[in-house]
Structure 1
Amino acid sequence: MPPTTDSNRTNQSTVAAFAVLEEMAKHTEPSRVTDIAANLGMPRARTHRYLQTLVQLGYVRQDPATERYLLTLKLFHLGQAIADGTQLTVVARPIMAALRDTLQQTVTLSIPEHNGMRVIDIVRVETPVQIVTRPGALLPLHSSAQGKVALAWGSTSLLARFNQMLADNDPSLAGIDRDALIAEIAQTRAKGWAVAPQEILPGVNAVAAPVFDNEGRFIATITVVGSVQHIEPTPDTTIVTAALNAAREVSNNLGYLEYPV
């Protein structure tokens, strides 16, 4: 085995530190060192060391009463600054705001990653019950409206990874009706949008539509999110049409003029 160089150790530390941040981002409650270490399969002492470094850098803070750790807003502001500078977010945000104002529902923008859909922007509507999805949240492919759209229009590599997860009986897919999911993905492709009533959050539904870049590649979803009282399992055509029109407008502004729906 070749010797471990300082560069290799530095790279491993960087990867581990980001793994700690990503693990913490999955949870809304403050995290214990032991839980983070167990979930990452990392020694507790090593996890504690990375957490202390992240505290010093301002990305994590520790509750002095409980000794648990939680993310600060520094990471959010960094991500928001990046999002604000991307063409996709700049193009999509005013259209999302108009969609929110029309439907009086929260609207999100999400992009595909290898194991889910990452929420990168949210335009909220003020209601007594707030949708708790946050920017940075990673939504599963099989049980979110955004994920179903990704499976219907996503890249070959994304579909290959998901099919491999099915073949390997991945624990995250335990209990799903695979035939029903495959049929729903086909229906999503045919009708142009997806729905996920109470699949991510109890009492919450979402209608997602695909966004395409100037070469016709699927790159994002525009999603209307609200309570099942306002967005029923079979959504009102007004909501579906508005979501599709918003996604089409974003796609058109990105240079894609042949929206498939």
Structure 2
Amino acid sequence: MNIELDKSVNQSTQMAFAVIEAMADRGEPVAVSDLARQIGVSKVRAFRFLRTLLSLGYVLQDPETEKYRLSYKLYHLGQALADSTDILREARPVMIELRDLTGFTVSFSQMEPDGMRILDMVRTIQPVAIVTRPGALLDFHSSAQGKVALAFGGAKLGEGSLREWTAETPTDRNAIGVEIQKVRERGWAEAPNQTLQGVTAVSAPVFDMTENFIATLTIAGPTGVIGTPPANRFVDALMMSARKFSTNLGNTELPK
């Protein structure tokens, strides 16, 4: 097959994926010359892309035959995407139920090295607008989600000063450490006015069937409505939903 490149987008990226797709279709180790003929490019060009993919870990080379094959890195990426999609599908009805129980916007987040990524959100109409959107990355120290990750997910605060989002953002590491211990003991975290002024978030952990922390469920709304500390009825609804979500994922070890 000869590759027809779209000149309106990055051609190197197109070619890299063409190499990957051709190798996947082939299903066996391939020599540079054979791959070059298959995709209709010069041997030098095919070699250059193979070496780039090799350096990134997506391709392996047999030292004896010098042929190339795809590594399992692509498989793991695909599996991670499938797992994330399944989790989001499982999360959605629980989030809607929690939104209806509390009247607050509900979000689902997962941990990344530098913070908590909001992957989905079920909104409700509130007097204070929740401007955070899916895709946003929240700091560990200033978000309820991040504090849960610090308590249950092994997250670590980065080096250097901590960003002060509002006048109430915690930036003292010792004080944060004390708070994280409380989060660990009670099972939930709050962040009143700490990322957005006038907005409080309350977050609880979600665990998978192996009892590993994998995500957070969070309610967010006006601080004056949720309360500081948050009203028991809101915390109870959040914890119930987080437990339900964890149970749906196969976790049977959480307290009722």
Question: What's the counterpart of residue 209 of structure 2?
Answer: 214
**When the two structures are aligned, how many residues end up with a matched partner?**
176
Question: What's the counterpart of residue 185 of structure 1?
Answer: 180
- For 1:86-165, what aligned pairs fall within 5 Å after superposition? 86-155=85-154, 158-159=155-156, 162=157, 165=158
Shift of 1:127: 2.8
Conserved? CA contact 2:188–2:205, under 8 Å: yes
Shift of 1:130: 2.3
Shift of 1:214: 1.1
Supply the AA of the counterpart residue of 2:145. Answer: Q
Query: Which of 164, 169, 176 lines up with 2:160 in the alignment?
Result: 169
Supply the AA of the counterpart residue of 1:256. Answer: N
Deviations 1:186-236 (A, max 9, x none): 000000000000000010001100001111110100001000111112011
1:196 to 2:181 alignment: no
Shift of 1:88: 1.0
Q: CA RMSD in A?
A: 2.5
Q: Normalising by structure 2, what TM-score?
A: 0.64
Give the number of the structure whose residues are more often helix, by fraction.
Answer: 1
Counterpart secondary structure, 1:131: coil
Conserved? CA contact 2:117–2:138, under 8 Å: yes
Gaps of 5+ in 1: 1-9, 15-81
Shift of 1:243: 0.4
Counterpart secondary structure, 2:225: coil
Counterpart secondary structure, 1:229: helix
Q: Normalising by structure 1, what TM-score?
A: 0.62
Gaps of 5+ in 2: 1-11, 17-80
Counterpart secondary structure, 1:132: coil
Moved over 2 A (4+): 82-85, 127-130, 168-175
C-alpha distance in 1 between matches for 2:194 and 2:102: 22
C-alpha distance in 2 between matches for 1:144 and 1:260: 25
Q: Percent identity?
A: 47
Conserved? CA contact 1:106–1:224, under 8 Å: yes
Shift of 1:85: 7.0
Question: What's the counterpart of residue 240 of structure 2?
Answer: 245
Counterpart secondary structure, 2:87: helix
Counterpart secondary structure, 1:200: coil
Bigger radius of gyration = 2
Conserved? CA contact 2:163–2:171, under 8 Å: no
Supply the AA of the counterpart residue of 1:169. Answer: G
Counterpart secondary structure, 1:209: strand
Supply the AA of the counterpart residue of 1:215. Answer: T
Supply the AA of the counterpart residue of 1:213. Answer: D
Supply the AA of the counterpart residue of 1:98. Answer: E
Deviations 1:31-59 (A, max 9, x none): xxxxxxxxxxxxxxxxxxxxxxxxxxxxx
Deviations 1:119-152 (A, max 9, x none): 0000001234321110000000011000000000
Decide whether aligned partners of structure 1 residues 120 and 152 sit closer, same or farther in structure 2, where only a CA change above 3 A counts: same
Conserved? CA contact 1:196–1:233, under 8 Å: no
Decide whether aligned partners of structure 1 residues 175 and 205 sit closer, same or farther in structure 2, where only a CA change above 3 A counts: closer
